[in-house]
């Protein structure tokens, strides 16, 4: 099944179920049955597996709906990777990590050196 068709069908199901703030992201290239659903407002993301055969079978519509609902109800919050940094105390927001690094690696300031200026 074409990637765009699958995404459009799942997006339609989300809207019908009242999840219009959720978006279907392209299916995985490694496992085409898996799709990501994302809510940018809540910064949540989940992964759901919907085989292509289910999309062509009207008897599977309820199963698709339940799979999407379960995924949305059990998905996790997502923080942008740019705002996370590893530190000895674990992964912390970048601003705290910078403060930790500064405290751990304090470098003494060099004294003022005389300058040779032509007079």
Per-residue pLDDT tens over the stretch 60-113: 999 999 999 999 999 888 766 555 455 454 444 444 444 444 444 444 444 455
Q: How far apart are CA 68 and CA 73, in angstroms?
A: 9
Interval 27-37 mean pLDDT: 78
Same domain, 70 and 83: no
Beta bridge partners of 1: none
On whether both 54 and 92 belong to a single domain, the answer is no
Is the domain of 8 the same as that of 51?
yes
Q: Are residues 53 and 92 in the same domain?
A: no
Contact between 19 and 13 under an 8 Å Cβ cutoff? The reply is: no
Instruction: Kindly state the tokens that stand for 8.
Output: 């459009």
Identify the pLDDT of residue 11: 95
Q: pLDDT tens for residues 82-97?
A: 554 554 544 444 444 4
Range of the domain at 52: 3-74
Q: Is the dihedral of CA 75, 77, 82, 84 positive or negative?
A: negative
Q: Are residues 69 and 83 in the same domain?
A: no
pLDDT band at 114 (very low <50, low <70, confident <90, very high): low
- What does 19-78 look like in DSSP terms, one character per residue? -TT-EEE---SS-TTEEEEEETTTTEEEEEE--HHHHT-GGGHHHHHHHHHHHHHT-EE-
The average pLDDT across 12-23 equals: 95
pLDDT at 100: 47
Residues 35 and 83 in one domain: no
- CA separation for the pair 103, 117 (Å, rounded): 36
Do 38 and 95 lie in one domain? The reply is: no
Its pTM stands at: 0.60
């Amino acid at each position: 099944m074409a990637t765009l068709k699958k995404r459009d069908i799942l997006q339609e199901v989300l809207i019908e179920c009242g999840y219009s703030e959720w978006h279907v992201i392209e299916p995985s290239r490694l496992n085409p049955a898996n799709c990501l659903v994302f809510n940018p407002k809540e910064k949540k993301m989940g992964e759901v597996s919907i085989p292509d055969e289910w999309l062509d079978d009207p008897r599977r519509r309820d199963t698709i709906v339940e799979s999407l609902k379960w995924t949305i109800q059990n998905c996790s919050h997502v923080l942008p990777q740019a705002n996370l940094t590893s530190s000895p105390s674990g992964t912390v927001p970048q601003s705290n990590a910078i403060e930790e690094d500064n405290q751990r690696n304090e470098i003494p300031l060099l004294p003022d050196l005389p300058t040779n200026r032509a007079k």
